[in-house]
Structures are given as C-alpha cells and as structure tokens.
Amino acid sequence: MDLVYLDNNATTKPAPEVVESMLPYLTELYGNPSSVHRFGQRSRQAIEEARSQVARLIGCSEAEILFTGGGTESVNTAVRGLLAARQPRRNVVTSTVEHSAGRELCAQLEKEGAEVVAVEVDEGGTLDLDQLRDALRGDDVALVSIMWANNETGVLSPVAEVAALCRERRVPFHCDGTQAVGKVPVDVAALGVDAMSFAAHKFHGPKGTAGLFLRRGLRHRPLLIGGPQERGRRGGTENVPGIVGIGKAAELALQSLPQMQRVLQLRDRLESRILETIADTRVNGRTDQRLPNTTNVGFYQLEAEAILLLLSEQGVCASAGAACSSGSLEPSPVLRAMKIDDRYAHGAVRFSLSRYTTPAEIDQALAILPKVVQRLRAVLPVA
C-alpha cells in the first residue's frame, strides 16, 4: 500500500539534499564551532553559510538571523525577549487563531502579570484590523504577536497592514511565519515586521532547528543565557548539523517557490472534487487569501478523528486541524474563534500538500475518501 502523505503543515519530508548536507557534520566534521582551532572553525564557517542561505530566503541580512532549537522556542524567544526589553509596558496584543506555541505562551504570560488582548477574526479567518487599531491605542502595549499563515486553515493575515499599524504606534511586531516561510515569497524588509519566527521542518528541513529574524537595532533580551553563541542572543553550543540542514532547506525552498503554483493546482483539484463528490461538505476559512498547499474541509456531523483513523488504515495521512491538538474530540480553538458551526467543526480535516505531492497521490486520496465518509455515515446517518 502506497503512502499518501497530506499532512505537510505538521511536518515535511526532509529533502534528500538536506540530509546529505547534514551527514558530514554528524560524522567526521564534529568540531565545536566555538573552538579556535581550524577543525572547530569549519563548523563555524558552515553555520555562517547557513545563516546567509536563510537570510536570502526571507530578505534580511545575515546578522539579523538567530538560530533556535525549534519553532516554539523561536516564538518564546521573540515574545518573551521583546516583552522583557519593553518594561514596564506589559500589554501583549495577539489574535484568537494563533498556534498553541503563541496561544499557550500568552496564557502563561497572563499568569505572570501581563495583559493579553486577543484580536478576533471573522468566519473566513480574516483578522479584524479595526479591533487591532483599537488595541494599539493604549500607551502600555509592549508588542504585537500575530501569525502570518494559519496552520489549520491556511488563511493569510494582512501582515503588511499589521506592520504599518504597529509602526504608527512604535510598537514592535513579531510575526509567527512558521507556516508561510518556504510556501509564499517572504521579504521581511518590505513587510516591515520587526521579528519573525520560522521552522526548518515546515519546508523540508530537519526537526528541532528553527530561526528567528530580529531587525537590526531592535531591543531584545535573550531567553537562554549561558554562553556567547549567536552573538550573545542564545546561549548553548549550536546544533551544527541542524543549522546546516535549515540552510540547505532554505536554499532549496527559494529555488522551488515557482513550484507552489503546481501545488496550488493540486490542492484546488483535491478540494473541488471533495466538494463535488461528497455531500454536506464545506471549506473552513476563506479560499482566496490562503496558503497554496492547504485546505480545511468540514464533513457535516462526523468526527474528524474517525475519518482520520479510517484514512490512515488505507495509507492516507491527514490531520484534524493542528497536529499539536490531535487526540482531542473538541473542535480546535481556531475553528471556535472563527465561529464555525460545530456540526462542521467537529468533522474538520486538514489536507496539506508539498512540492513532493504527486497527481497520483491526489487521485488515490480522492478514491479512498468518499468511501470512508460513506462508511461512517452509514453507521451515523446525517440528521
């Protein structure tokens, strides 16, 4: 049975070129990049080359790139570091549809004394810019942290407009770009964001390695203390193989951006055929301003977990919204924030493609999915 992998927003297949680039730094080139000898300095050179590759992908200078141990660490580093640097300001503005890395962090910050304002979205998942404008009127706002692309629906936030509003109020803007980087063109200088998080494993790099863009001159305090690494912004010996991997993945992602048009066409064919062949289905979220690889489909009065289990039995991998919330029978906080009808939200399945997805895989999924839904509805007929 061939695997049909349609869960690329959870993680992507590491590109073969990425794996190959990492291997020497897992075997013979194991020197510590902080060592002064030539052996260690080969690792240092590899890190700086990766920094340059990542900078080219997102449109910034090498000095503005900080490597972290994952996307969640990147978000925590950005938000906590900006909040600490902006004391005594304690207000954090975010949205109601953030990934758990941002949402749960803000909940913890509230327990620590911060005031969090969550800007709402409409049923299409579009951020309410008027609410954001109102939230920025106070003098106690420390920062804004809003995602670029929603991990469940793929809906894109108007980050350029958010950045402009933040500049007017002289408030730092952190953008969680984890799902956007590698899928859509990114130019942080043109966008006007002050900080942006991203993770290698979302664009065919290794897990456990991520990056954080910090605009030159931005006041920021480190999250991890304990060494001079990363220009004193993150202590700890660098994960050289992982950093080499994110660099190579960034280089390949930049070269492969034109392929996302083909991915979009495959996504649209999958989505349109589901809607045409399976009754009582709908797309959750707006269908214009979104990632080219993502669709979130609600199956009326079904449970997503049941759909996913039957799909998995036949080799099709998808997700119930966010991979981080898998296992919960409750609709995701994102779909609740969008006020999606519970009868569709409970049965919401996210299909996310990559540049490795083939037409044959889409055909195989389309052959299997209607039978899965038919089987479930035979057991639990739609009212």
Per the annotation, the verdict on 60 as an active-site residue is no
Q: What is the DSSP string of 318-334?
A: -BSS-GGGTT--SPPHH
* pLDDT score recorded for residue 138: 83
Q: 66 pairs with which residues across the strands?
A: 212
pLDDT above 90 (res 124)? yes
pLDDT above 70 (res 329)? no
Percent of the chain whose pLDDT exceeds 90: 93
Number of domains forming the structure of the chain:
2
Task: Encode burial over 270-292: b for 16+ CB neighbours within 10 A, e otherwise.
Answer: bbebbeeebeebbbbbbeeebbb
> Tell me: the pLDDT tens digits for 44-79?
999 999 999 999 999 999 999 999 999 999 999 999
Q: Which of 7-16, 220-229, 326-335 has the highest mean pLDDT?
A: 7-16
| 340 and 319 in a common domain | yes
CATH of the domain at 371: 3.90.1150.10
Model confidence at 304, pLDDT cuts 50, 70, 90, reads very high
Residue 230 to residue 138: CA distance in whole angstroms? 34
Q: Tell me if 143 sits within 8 A of 79, measured CB to CB.
A: yes
| 174 and 220 in a common domain | yes
Domain interval for residue 213: 16-256
Q: What is the dihedral of CA 147, 149, 154, 155, to 10 degrees?
A: 80
Model confidence at 382, pLDDT cuts 50, 70, 90, reads low
| 167 and 81 in a common domain | yes
Q: pTM, whole model, 2 decimals?
A: 0.94
Identify the domain boundary among 229, 256, 283.
256
* pLDDT score recorded for residue 345: 96
> Tell me: the pLDDT tens digits for 81-113?
999 999 999 999 999 999 999 999 999 999 999
| 342 and 299 in a common domain | yes
pLDDT above 80 (res 183)? yes
Identify the domain boundary among 230, 256, 282.
256
* pLDDT score recorded for residue 324: 44
Longest CA span, the chain: 72
| 111 and 47 in a common domain | yes
Residue 112 to residue 95: CA distance in whole angstroms? 19
Mean pLDDT taken over the chain: 95
* pLDDT score recorded for residue 323: 47
| 277 and 185 in a common domain | no
| 193 and 335 in a common domain | no
CATH of the domain at 146: 3.40.640.10
Strands (E), the chain: 4-5, 65-68, 91-95, 115-119, 141-147, 173-176, 195-199, 210-214, 281-283, 294-299, 316-317, 348-352
Give me the phi and psi of 366, to 5 degrees please: -70, -25
| 126 and 59 in a common domain | yes
* pLDDT score recorded for residue 381: 60
Of 4-13, 194-203, 234-243, 374-383, give the lowest mean pLDDT range: 374-383
- In the predicted model, what is the mean pLDDT of residues 246-272? 98
* pLDDT score recorded for residue 330: 74
| 282 and 243 in a common domain | no
Of 148-152, 296-300, 324-328, give the lowest mean pLDDT range: 324-328
Q: Among residues 60, 166, 317, 324, which one is catalytic?
A: 324
The first and second tokens of residue 364, run together, are 């195989």
Residues 6+ away with beta carbon under 8 Å from 144: 92, 93, 94, 132, 136, 162, 166, 171, 172, 173, 174
Identify the domain boundary among 217, 241, 256.
256
| 306 and 239 in a common domain | no
Model confidence at 379, pLDDT cuts 50, 70, 90, reads confident
| 285 and 206 in a common domain | no
| 289 and 183 in a common domain | no
pLDDT above 60 (res 327)? no
Cis peptide before 88 (omega within 30 of 0): yes
The first and second tokens of residue 324, run together, are 């981080």
